Amino acid sequence: MARVDAVVLGAGIVGTSIGVHLAKRGLAVALVDRRAPGEETSYGNAGVIEGNTLLPHPFPSGLSTLFRIAAMRGTEASYHLSFLPRVAPWILAYRANSAMQRRIEFAELMRPLFSRALPEHEALIADAGAERYLRREGWLKLYRTDAAFAATARERELAQKYGLPFRILDRAATQALEPALAPVFERAVHWPGAGSITNPLGLTRAYVARFEKLGGVVLTGDARTLRRNGSKWQVGTQEGVLDADAAVVALGPWAPDLLAPLGIKLPLAVKRGYHRHFRPRGNAGLNRPVVDTEVGYCVAPMEQGLRLTTGAEFADRDAPPTPVQLERLMPAAKALFPLGEAVEATPWLGSRPCFADSRPVIGRAPGQSGLWLAYGHAHWGLTLGPATGRLVSEMMSGGTPFCDPAPYGAERFMH
Ligand SMILES: Cc1cc2nc3c(=O)[nH]c(=O)nc-3n(C[C@H](O)[C@H](O)[C@H](O)COP(=O)(O)OP(=O)(O)OC[C@H]3O[C@@H](n4cnc5c(N)ncnc54)[C@H](O)[C@@H]3O)c2cc1C
């Protein structure tokens, strides 16, 4: 039987980053996934390294927005009616966390992680020789009305408090940055401190290659075979049973499948999201990701084309895709940007793993020695993968963590 110091379960951007950090510290590490690395949620995101994030996405408010969403006409959010009773407690908790005071608390508690987001990617990118995927042009948030711009004033006040750079642009200044955008908006805010990735799958693969160079091994296996074996953990892989001193659960939206049978029941829900690539018309292009804030989608220039990503759909993780949001927002997207034909026949579907307070769980698994948790990164798994990897490796190796991990502990749900 093979043995390692640590087995990381799940080779998305989070698990892979943890693997690299543990291997860098000299540990013998195996990364186990049932698929090839990076092919699930970490494949399909908008590629934004949102180190500038301050406030979490609020629960929709305003009667007209709520009615639009309830009537299944919303572009920013959608739902499967039959799923609502099951997710109702989570939605109520999320709504409670949308109070401005709670959102500001999120900004404070998450700042240490977000402030390391881009620097930690830059360090891994340099190690992995993956510079070709990183764009340092920030991202743009567009506002179609002055009212919508005014409604986000708090975010900019906080940015000033934390010293995060941003620039408020009128239409002409926005078009100077992005000439392909039609003037269907009033203003934009450019956040130059954000980075973006032109191929998230390519980036995860580059980190995996770095991991292997450091001596890490990638194995195929089902994480749900994880068993305690005395003081160690054991997991079945195609290459045989693996013994590990420690195991890290980085299964993103699938973490509950492994944890619930072990008696660890944390209230994770998923916000499903879709993407589709489009070819630009003519020689139009974008230099950075652009968010159409009121309509609720992002267009990101990727190697595969212009990737249009949707907001949240509340539905069972495993229910068949229903990409109605994408259909609903296409007229607005086409009015903003000269989108040509779609690259793929059908949209991609992924599930953002999300706790109601929008914070991930990072740290020890309650009641299970040698088991660690790193999942629930919601809208920011790409952003926070490497910072999470560093934090987890520092905690596991008994070093001084670069920030206080208490706000991310699973214990916050244990009362
Ligand atoms: C439409 C959309 C847009 C987004 N845009 C952004 C963005 O711009 N910026 C950003 O930071 N984040 C964004 N996100 C969020 C981000 O993609 C996720 O938070 C992140 O990918 C989660 O990474 P992960 O490694 O935790 O999960 P995953 O990438 O899902 O990795 C989990 C892994 O576990 C494996 N697995 C599952 N079950 C088993 C099992 N039983 N046995 C073995 N392996 C198993 C899976 O195969 C998978 O590889 C977006 C998400 C969506 C859906």
Q: What is the pLDDT of residue 81?
A: 84
Q: How far is the CA of 145 from the centre of ligand 1 (A)?
A: 33
Q: Which atom of ligand 1 is nearest to the CA of 309?
A: 1
Q: Which atom of ligand 1 is nearest to the CA of 272?
A: 53
Q: How much is the pTM? A: 0.97
Q: What average pLDDT score do residues 163-190 get?
A: 98
> Does 252 contact ligand 1 (Cβ within 6 A)?
yes
> Does 383 contact ligand 1 (Cβ within 6 A)?
yes
In the predicted structure, residue 182 carries a pLDDT above the cut 80: yes
In the predicted structure, residue 5 carries a pLDDT above the cut 80: yes
Helices (DSSP H) in 129-199: which residue ranges? 146-151, 153-162, 171-177
Q: What is the pLDDT of residue 60?
A: 72
In the predicted structure, residue 72 carries a pLDDT above the cut 90: no
Q: Give the closest residue to 353 by CA, choosing from 237, 222, 254.
A: 254
Q: What is the pLDDT of residue 241?
A: 97
Average pLDDT, whole number, for the chain? 95
Burial of 131 (0-12, 13-18, 19+ CB in 10 A): exposed
> Does 106 contact ligand 1 (Cβ within 6 A)?
no
Helix (H, G, I), strand (E, B) or coil at 341: strand
Q: What is the pLDDT of residue 66?
A: 62
Q: How far is the CA of 252 from the centre of ligand 1 (A)?
A: 5
391: Cβ contacts below 8 Å, ≥ 6 apart: 113, 362, 401, 402, 403, 405, 408
Between CA 35 and CA 238 the distance in angstroms is: 12
- Residue 10's pLDDT band (cuts 50, 70, 90): very high
Q: What average pLDDT score do residues 164-184 get?
A: 98
